[in-house]
Chain A
Amino acid sequence: MFKNLKITCDEATTICDKNQYGEATFYEKLTLNIHFIKCKVCFLYTKQNNTLSKILKYQAKDCKGKLFTLQNEEKEILKKKLKQTDI
């Protein structure tokens, strides 16, 4: 059964990415932690990934309050274009 717990670096980092959103399963987290024992590279990747997530979260917060709107001139152009094809 231990064979099933062995994963590649590609799989390990995929789980790590999933975990950034809190969506990795318990089993996945288990295999990831076992992978860390023999793989320092993926451990480092995870650490850096966590740092990135922190910065990204800050950006997300910043971006959420923003409302994008069209310029009035752009709307007028669009109105004209629509009128031309009007039946």
Chain B
Amino acid sequence: METKVVLDTDKWIDNYADYLYNYTIVRVNDSDLAKDIVQDTFFAGLKSAKNFEGKSSERTWLVSILKRKIIDYYRKTNSKKGQAEVRMNFYSDGDNEGDWIEERVPKTWENEAEKSIENKELNQQLASCIAALPEKYRLVFTMKTIQDFDTEEVCNELEISASNMWVLIHRARTQLRKCMEDNWFNS
């Protein structure tokens, strides 16, 4: 027997928009982008509504569409060629492969101890350093560090391997360290 699914899009938005938006923003960290992705999800949901079999709840179904959208977005940023802003910290070949590149070597931080972690400006500076990270590093880094996701979760959602994830985190953290050194600790 076929049951006709009656869609009430007004209700969709009232019931799920906030949930989907919240779900997206913790993953992409950009409110405009999150809104776009949520909107796309609703459109895609509407388009494929006839495929909805009612096996799962409407919300779960929409979240599964949303997840695909986030992965698509991640793939897109991942394949972007414009990565001039990515500065390497280690020599990638030659005799000293894997050694620190001289100007990227950590310097001693001045007055490190007297800066409290609750210092507002310090936290603001850190946030802007995170915002300045290349998109794909930032996404993985914030999911893992700020949102406190398990490694497995991050890897599943973004469809990357664990070692790939650690490389991205490593690059994010070395850049973040340098950024904080230049703009806060030794400025």
CA distance A10 to B107 in the complex (A): 17
Supposing A13-B170, A21-B144, A60-B147 touch, asked if A55 and B126 sit within 8 A by C-beta, the answer is: yes
> Which chain B residue has the least Cβ–Cβ distance from A51?
B112
Q: Determine if A9 and B90 form an interchain contact, defined as CB atoms under 8 angstroms apart.
A: yes
Is chain B's interface secondary structure helix, strand, loop, or mixed overall? helix
CA distance A68 to B18 in the complex (A): 7
CA distance A58 to B17 in the complex (A): 29
A-side contacts of B98, CB under 8 Å: 7-11
Supposing A8-B98, A44-B106, A58-B118 touch, asked if A52 and B35 sit within 8 A by C-beta, the answer is: no
Supposing A52-B177, A69-B22 touch, asked if A75 and B43 sit within 8 A by C-beta, the answer is: no
With an 8 Å Cβ cutoff, the count of chain A residues facing the other chain is 42
Q: Determine if B9 and A82 form an interchain contact, defined as CB atoms under 8 angstroms apart.
A: yes
CA distance A18 to B163 in the complex (A): 10
Is A64 interfacial (CB 8 A cutoff)?
yes
Supposing A8-B97, A55-B122, A55-B123 touch, asked if A78 and B13 sit within 8 A by C-beta, the answer is: yes
B-side contacts of A78, CB under 8 Å: 13, 17, 38-39, 42
Q: Mark B140-172, 1 if CB is under 8 A from A, else 0.
A: 000011111001000000000000001101100
**How many B residues touch the partner, as a band?**
35 or more
> B17 contacts which of A17, A41, A75 (Cβ < 8 Å)?
A75
Q: Determine if B18 and A58 form an interchain contact, defined as CB atoms under 8 angstroms apart.
A: no
> Which chain A residue has the least Cβ–Cβ distance from B162?
A23
Interface set, chain B 12-43, CB cutoff 8 A to A:
12-14, 17-18, 21-22, 25-26, 31, 34-35, 38-39, 42-43
> A17 contacts which of B122, B147, B170, B181 (Cβ < 8 Å)?
B170
Is B176 interfacial (CB 8 A cutoff)?
yes
CA distance A67 to B112 in the complex (A): 32
Q: Determine if B117 and A13 form an interchain contact, defined as CB atoms under 8 angstroms apart.
A: no
Q: Using a CB–CB distance below 8 Å, which chain A residues touch chain B?
A: 7-11, 13-14, 17-18, 20-21, 23, 41, 44-45, 48-49, 51-52, 54-56, 58-60, 62-64, 67-70, 74-75, 78-79, 81-83, 85-87
Q: Using a CB–CB distance below 8 Å, which chain B residues touch chain A?
A: 9-10, 12-14, 17-18, 21-22, 25-26, 31, 34-35, 38-39, 42-43, 46, 89-90, 97-100, 105-106, 108-109, 112, 117-118, 122-123, 126-127, 144-148, 151, 166-167, 169-170, 173-174, 176-177, 180-181
